[in-house]
Amino acid sequence: MTNRITDKIIAIIQNLDENRQAETTLRKSYTIPEILGNLDIAIPERGISPEALTKTIDQVLDKSVKTNNALFMNQMFGKQQSIGVLGDILAVLLNTSMYTYEVAPALTLIEKECIKRLGSFVWKSSETGDGIFTPGSSISNITAMTLARNATFPNSKKTGLFDNLRFSIFVSEHAHYSFVKGALFLGMGEQTIVKVKSDTNGKIDIPSLNKAIGNEVQNGHIPLMLVGIAGTTITGVYDDLYRLSEIAKKYNMWFHVDGAYGGSLLFSSKEKHKLNGIQYADSVSWSLHKIMGVPLVCAVLLTKNKGILENSFAVSADYLFHGDTDLDLGQKSLQCGRRADALKLWLAWKLEGDNGFEGRVDGLMNAANKFSEKINGSEAFELLCLPETPIVCFRFICLELSPGNLNKLNKKIRETIFNDGRILFNYSTYEGKIYLRCVISDPNMDETLMETILTEVTKVANQLLLTKHDLNINTQPV
Ligand SMILES: Cc1ncc(COP(=O)(O)O)c(C=O)c1O
């Protein structure tokens, strides 16, 4: 019945690497009516034939973004490792849930091994630590907020927040939005999240942090948790984790490191110094689907202490859990049904070893450094900051334009190139300026591609300056 569909999907898998090379348009710029004109979205009362479904799959493919390409730089994931794809398919074929050892014996041990090995990069010892795979670092961050609350107010597991004093969670102004979502979700209220000013590179400003803690304490709030970011979302830079760990200790705060993006630099002996201080964290978020190219999603929350996840989350449900809470991973997780996301990481790690993982990180950092050197070497561009992770933010410069018009120009450059669909990168506002933001996901990205990107940006900028009515600005092309 479904042979045609099986053949189609097998062909995609078999040609994964070749297809990536051949892709030139990564995103076709269809309008919604154009998509609906070709893709029959409606779910019918009577099912359709496998032949018709195969054609529908073609339409889904045509109208999706090709993210497994070096020129997809729009988000913090991208060119996936082929072995990871196969690992994910294997997990689907096994179709089990990670809540109990009973239904996932090998997979439970695989998840525990991954947690142990990831933890050994954080805490430098495989004897400490625990953790759990989560559906992304947003959920890891929110889970860590719950752990921090329960560590400081153990009664809140029973009585909720009602009996507690107000508390404060300190993050930099460049922290990921998940902390605010967590506060909304956990009934803490948005005001619990104290956003602290960053320096010009985007790292949390320590004097401002000390001042913010002082203010909160003076207002009678309990300093609950301090977050250090290992790889900020916009510029990819690292907070000074060591100094933050000392401040957290001084105020007896839970110290959480959000290493969603930059945690993976721990795999590199050359780069790991950027995370010095992470060994003092109480918990760490880390998404392996970002820098490591494991297919979405593959993320963990690591904890320094064993037992802490069960203490917070274990519940009695004897229709499911009959055994050891250390082996029934569902007792450590917020989820019930849970995918075997560790499998794809484990297969990739086994195939490549620590060396292969280190090579990927070093390759990405070499590419980011090379790309930013090229940007710095041209008067047409301004680099936001030297890359600390494989994120490169820059903007096209035209001295005759006012700051507002320069922003309009850069936004329009991005929009034009994005709509063309061959090179996909994003833009972001940083200290009032719009920057083009490229997240490099191909460790073998060569210099020709970098030149292609910069040539395209310059070409589009000059075209836009010629047709300046689009921008509502008044100057000559450079
Ligand atoms: C610093 C940071 N933390 C957390 C997240 C959320 O991660 P995830 O997409 O794995 O939920 C992101 C996402 O980009 C991030 O940049």
175 lines ligand 1 (CB under 6 A): no
262 lines ligand 1 (CB under 6 A): no
- Cα(54) to ligand 1 centroid in Å equals 34
Mean pLDDT of 171-182: 97
Residue 377 has which token pair? 């070497």
The whole-angstrom distance between residue 268's C-alpha and the CA centroid of its chain comes to 18
- Cα(290) to ligand 1 centroid in Å equals 9
Stated pTM of the model: 0.95
76 lines ligand 1 (CB under 6 A): yes
Query: Could you report the per-residue pLDDT of 393-435, keeping only the tens digit for each?
Result: 999 999 999 999 999 999 999 999 999 999 999 999 999 999 9
Atom 16 in ligand 1: residue holding the nearest Cα: 233
pLDDT band per the 50, 70, 90 thresholds, residue 297: very high
Amino acid present at 405 = N
388 lines ligand 1 (CB under 6 A): no
Query: Could you report the per-residue pLDDT of 45-74, keeping only the tens digit for each?
Result: 999 998 899 999 999 999 999 999 999 999
User: What is the pLDDT at residue 16?
Assistant: 82
260 lines ligand 1 (CB under 6 A): yes
- We find that the CATH architecture of domain 93-350 is 3-Layer(aba) Sandwich (3.40)
- Cα(60) to ligand 1 centroid in Å equals 27
132 pLDDT above the threshold of 70: yes
- Cα(112) to ligand 1 centroid in Å equals 23
User: What is the pLDDT at residue 164?
Assistant: 76
Query: Could you report the per-residue pLDDT of 303-344, keeping only the tens digit for each?
Result: 999 999 999 999 999 999 997 778 999 999 999 999 999 999
Mean pLDDT of 261-276: 98
The whole-angstrom distance between residue 396's C-alpha and the CA centroid of its chain comes to 26
pLDDT band per the 50, 70, 90 thresholds, residue 79: confident
What percentage of the chain carries pLDDT values higher than 70? Answer: 97
Give me the helix-helix angle, 178-185 and 137-152, nearest 10°: 50
29: phi then psi, degrees, rounded to nearest 5: -90, 65
Mean pLDDT of 20-38: 89
pLDDT band per the 50, 70, 90 thresholds, residue 473: low
72 lines ligand 1 (CB under 6 A): no
End-to-end CA distance of the chain: 61
233 lines ligand 1 (CB under 6 A): yes
- Cα(399) to ligand 1 centroid in Å equals 35
335: phi then psi, degrees, rounded to nearest 5: -85, 160
Alpha-carbon torsion 207, 180, 391, 458, what sign? negative
Alpha-carbon torsion 241, 245, 247, 251, what sign? positive
- Cα(261) to ligand 1 centroid in Å equals 7
303 lines ligand 1 (CB under 6 A): no
Q: How far is CA 297 from CA 324, 341, 380, 429, 440, in A?
A: 27, 7, 38, 27, 18
The whole-angstrom distance between residue 353's C-alpha and the CA centroid of its chain comes to 22
Question: What secondary structure, in 3-state letters, does the chain show?
Answer: CCHHHHHHHHHHHHCHHHHHHHCCCCCCCCCHHHHHHHCCCCCCCCCCCHHHHHHHHHHHHHCCCCCCCCCEECCCCCCCCHHHHHHHHHHHHHCCCCCCCCCCHHHHHHHHHHHHHHHHHHHCCCCCCEEEEECCHHHHHHHHHHHHHHHHCCCHHHHCCCCCCCEEEEEECCCCCHHHHHHHHCCCCHHHEEEECECCCCCECHHHHHHHHHHHHHCCCEEEEEEEEECCCCCCCECCHHHHHHHHHHCCCEEEEECCCHHHHHHCCCCHHHHCCHHHCCEEEEECCCCCCCCCCCEEEEECCCCHHHHHHCCCCCCCCCCCCCCCHHHHCCCCCCCCCHHHHHHHHHHHHHHHHHHHHHHHHHHHHHHHHHHHCCCCEEECCCCCCCEEEEEECCCCCCHHHHHHHHHHHHHHHHHHCCCEEEEEEECCEEEEEEECCCCCCCHHHHHHHHHHHHHHHHHHHHCHHHCCCCCCCC
Which of 134, 142, 261, 283 has the most ligand 1 atoms within 8 A of CB, as the residue to mutate?
261
Q: Name the more confident of 162 and 53.
A: 53
239 lines ligand 1 (CB under 6 A): no
What percentage of the chain carries pLDDT values higher than 90? Answer: 86
Are the CB atoms for 228 and 176 separated by under 8 Å? no
425 lines ligand 1 (CB under 6 A): no
Are the CB atoms for 381 and 396 separated by under 8 Å? yes
Query: Could you report the per-residue pLDDT of 234-260, keeping only the tens digit for each?
Result: 999 999 999 999 999 999 999 999 999
144 lines ligand 1 (CB under 6 A): no
pLDDT band per the 50, 70, 90 thresholds, residue 127: confident
342: phi then psi, degrees, rounded to nearest 5: -70, -25
178 lines ligand 1 (CB under 6 A): yes
478 pLDDT above the threshold of 50: no
10 pLDDT above the threshold of 60: yes
The whole-angstrom distance between residue 81's C-alpha and the CA centroid of its chain comes to 16
pLDDT band per the 50, 70, 90 thresholds, residue 475: low
